[in-house]
Structure 1
């Protein structure tokens, strides 16, 4: 091979494809087109003389050489960021709010990916209801928020639309002579309000038997067999089942996940773009 250096943008495109499992999502994360990502990857493969990614119409997977190269590619990008960071001075800061009903179990891994992508970016995360986060965003206490669609708000960038269902423990049974027991978050949770309105419109008697301080606590109540909760499938405890059809409960419409941000450039913008692409990947499955 010649001594021609590697193109760092091409290396970054390869790592993004490997982590997101998709040329389309990698393009979203890098604010470019799928064709541009494909071209960068082809040039990288030509440069190293190896096939790094196996492409089929249905999936993208790393080749054996790609798996080996991935670790080295990450090390190269980390070294590059450290070299630049030594001359930048103060770390940039990104204050990010994420809604309870959006911040699933994968959130720590997504934030860790952001940290790994840019160690010089200081990320602060707040988890709360969509309504509370939007108020903080409007007061300029947060740089960006990822929330459910909120009544009266027409702004924000659509990241994905997510399906919710009525979930309960696998052996839980509803007593027909009693109101439907509901586990939910406290006000001002938008999903709580929506679930109540749907049940009322369908003339389904219900009562709150558990009000939790976060989605994990609501999921724990489901596991304990206390009742039913309106949740996204990715939030579920192991073994929970959708009982909506069996109980004749109203269908929950797909709920948009939106990004509200004042960040328009720089490291924080790149990190948000990567996180947005990752959220799309998680929500769409």
Structure 2
């Protein structure tokens, strides 16, 4: 048996939040080499890779993503114990849920800006699918969530509306194949909408993603083994919007919505929503 180091788990959580070792190290006030050494310690403990290179950055491996779910619980328990027995407690706590599609650089920067302006706030970040986040908020698990949806329902704070696009490998040709290979997770909310559009247009398709990690579809699309669906304006290494000249059917727009839960953290959550609004508006303007 080996003991887990809370500091290494906290670093893993920061890398997941900021999407890069450099930014995570800055947020934790440590050097990049020190954080990298902590990731190496975790790899030695579990004999599994923690980080996977993606373009110029890194993402968590499938194993690290699973580990993160338990690591968050352990870090939170550690902080609760320290607060109880030392008397040092945060000024408040904010539980944030972000849909995975929108954990991109500008949103991470918004989270960082909020942290810097609210140093005494215990900020807990989780990601998930939009429909799951809505359910979890009703259950009381989140104070504020950012979702992507095909509607702007009552109670939502509407940040922006972006067009969806068929996306494939840079310079790819697979979009011209028939049946058309679709590299989109079956669990993604965009998948049934895209498939319905193809069916309506009479375009035969086949699903290339079934099981695997949540980034499997990005790998397949970047390898020109299928096409996927993304909102315009979001850059992913190796992927670009397909200039199909009308050969593929149009897709509906998607809404970026924020929901703020009633409760003691409502004012704080509304403040955090303002940081998200600024970040999202920058992306929407670029799109």
Both structures adopt the same fold (TM-score exceeding 0.5): yes
What displacement does 1:117 show? 1.4
Q: How does 1:129-148 map to 2 (within 5 A)?
A: 129-148=129-148
* Structure 1: runs of 5+ lacking an equivalent: 1-87
Contact 1:93 1:124 in 2 (8 A): yes
What displacement does 1:228 show? 0.6
Q: How does 1:56-71 map to 2 (within 5 A)?
A: none
Contact 2:107 2:279 in 1 (8 A): no
Residue in 1 that maps onto 2:285: 284
Contact 2:147 2:258 in 1 (8 A): yes
Relative to structure 1, the CA distance from residue 172 to residue 249 in structure 2 (aligned partners, 3 Å threshold; closer, same or farther) is: same
Which segment drifts farther, 152-161 or 249-258? 152-161
Contact 2:111 2:275 in 1 (8 A): no
What displacement does 1:127 show? 1.2
Contact 1:102 1:257 in 2 (8 A): no
State the distance in 2 between where 1:168 and 1:203 align: 20
Relative to structure 1, the CA distance from residue 152 to residue 269 in structure 2 (aligned partners, 3 Å threshold; closer, same or farther) is: closer
- After superposition, give the CA deviation of every residue in 1:77-113 in whole Å (9 maximum; x if it has no partner): xxxxxxxxxxx95331111111122222333222111
What displacement does 1:133 show? 0.7
Q: Give 3-state SS (helix, strand or coil) of 2:194's partner.
A: helix
Q: Tell me the TM-score normalized by structure 1.
A: 0.61
Alignment length, in residue pairs? 197
Residue in 2 that maps onto 1:96: 96
State the distance in 1 between where 2:177 and 2:163 align: 29
Q: Give 3-state SS (helix, strand or coil) of 2:95's partner.
A: strand
Residue in 2 that maps onto 1:33: none
Q: Give 3-state SS (helix, strand or coil) of 1:231's partner.
A: strand
Relative to structure 1, the CA distance from residue 192 to residue 247 in structure 2 (aligned partners, 3 Å threshold; closer, same or farther) is: same
State the distance in 1 between where 2:227 and 2:154 align: 31
Q: Tell me the TM-score normalized by structure 2.
A: 0.60
Q: Give 3-state SS (helix, strand or coil) of 2:123's partner.
A: strand
* Structure 2: runs of 5+ lacking an equivalent: 1-87
Contact 1:221 1:227 in 2 (8 A): yes
